[in-house]
Amino acid sequence: MRLPSSLKFWSRAVEACVLFVAICFSLGAATPASRMNTLSHQLMCQCGCAQLLGECDHVGCPDRDKELSELTTDMAAGMTDQQIMDAFVAKYGATVLAAPTTKGFDLVAWVAPFAVFAAALLGTILLIRRWGGLGGKPVEATTAGAQSSDPADRERLERIRRETGSDGGF
């Protein structure tokens, strides 16, 4: 099926977006510095400041330097990100992770927002369909001009509407 030319433009734009994202996600591996930065922003400082480990700014913080040093040691020992996280959880408990994991009940934390969004999106589309929004033909919007009985006025209003691309109102 041939797409209308107006839709081709949009399909190409979408393709370009997808390609752009794919290129970004297929780039190479992290350096140690960026890995350290990434991991330290996935862990919480345990001093009670409620800040990310990589952002804790307390001079003399009893935990920040210790945790960062453990992180460095784990990275130097060749542990994977997951192993490092597991080691921190084993030592400090689950609250050391700045975000829930994707295992067990924690997965619900990640799934629920997208599930709710999908359900709401579906509901909205169904609602629009029920209200006739998907059944009617797209039409040229002409409202203001049709209300005037004077042909000159109607013509002027139609021209304004066309030029402003609007039918008034917010």
Partner 1 sequence: MENELVRREVTGFSRACDNHSGVLMATFGSFCLLIALVLAAYNLFAGAVALRLIATGRAARISPERLADTARRAGIAGFVAVTGAAFALIWSVFTNDFSITYILEHSNRALPIPYKFAALWSGQEGSLLLWAWLLGIYGFVLRLRHKTDVKLYAYAGTILSGIQVFFLAVLVFAAPPFSLLPGYVAGGPIPADGNGLNPLLQYPEMVIHPPMLYLGYVGFSVPFAFALGALMMRYPGEKWIRITRTWTMVTWLFLTCGIFLGMHWAYAVLGWGGYWGWDPVENASFMPWLTGTAFLHSVMMQERKGMMKSWNVWLIFSTFLLTMLGTLLTRAGLVSSVHAFAQSSIGTWFVVFMGIVLAVCIFTYILQRGHLKTEHHMESLVSRESSFLFNNLVLLTACFVILWGTLFPIISEYVQGTKVTVGAPFYNRVAVPIGLFLVFLTGVGPLLPWRATSFKAIKRNFVLPVIALWVTVIVCLAVGVRPWKDGSLDSGSFYAVVAFAVAAAVLTAIIAEFLRGAGVISRQTNRNLFAATWLLTRRNTRRYGGYIVHIGVVVVVIGLAGSAFNRSIESEMGLHSKMSIGPYTLECMGFTQDSNQNYNSDYAVLDVDQGGKKIFQVTPERRFYLASGQPQTMVAIHSIPEWDLYVVYEGTNPDTGQPIIKAFLNPLVGWIWFGLVVIVFGTFVALVPSLTPATAALRVPAVKTASMTPALKGGD
Q: Which of residues 123-162 bind partner 1 (CB under 8 A)?
A: 124-125, 127-128, 130-134, 136, 138-141, 143-145, 148, 150, 153, 156-157, 160-161
One of 42, 47, 72, 75 touching partner 1 (CB under 8 A): 42
Q: Which range of residues in 27-35, 63-71, 72-80 is near partner 1 by CB under 8 A?
A: 27-35
Query: How far lies 110's CA from each of 42, 46, 59, 82, 101, in Å?
Result: 15, 24, 34, 18, 9
CB of 130 to partner 1, least distance (A): 8
Q: Which range of residues in 16-24, 67-75, 77-85 is near partner 1 by CB under 8 A?
A: 16-24
- C-alpha 30/C-alpha 14 separation (Å) is 28
> What residue spans of 5-63 are helical by DSSP H?
5-25, 32-40
Window 62-91: contact mask with partner 1 (x via CB under 8 A): ------------------------------
Q: Which is nearer to partner 1, 72 or 148 (CB)?
A: 148
Residue 12 found at the interface with partner 1 (CB under 8 A) = no
103: phi then psi, degrees, rounded to nearest 5:
-115, 150
- C-alpha 5/C-alpha 132 separation (Å) is 26
CB of 17 to partner 1, least distance (A): 9
One of 76, 104, 149, 151 touching partner 1 (CB under 8 A): 104
- C-alpha 107/C-alpha 43 separation (Å) is 18
CB of 75 to partner 1, least distance (A): 14
- C-alpha 151/C-alpha 148 separation (Å) is 7
Q: What is the largest CA-CA distance in the chain?
A: 84
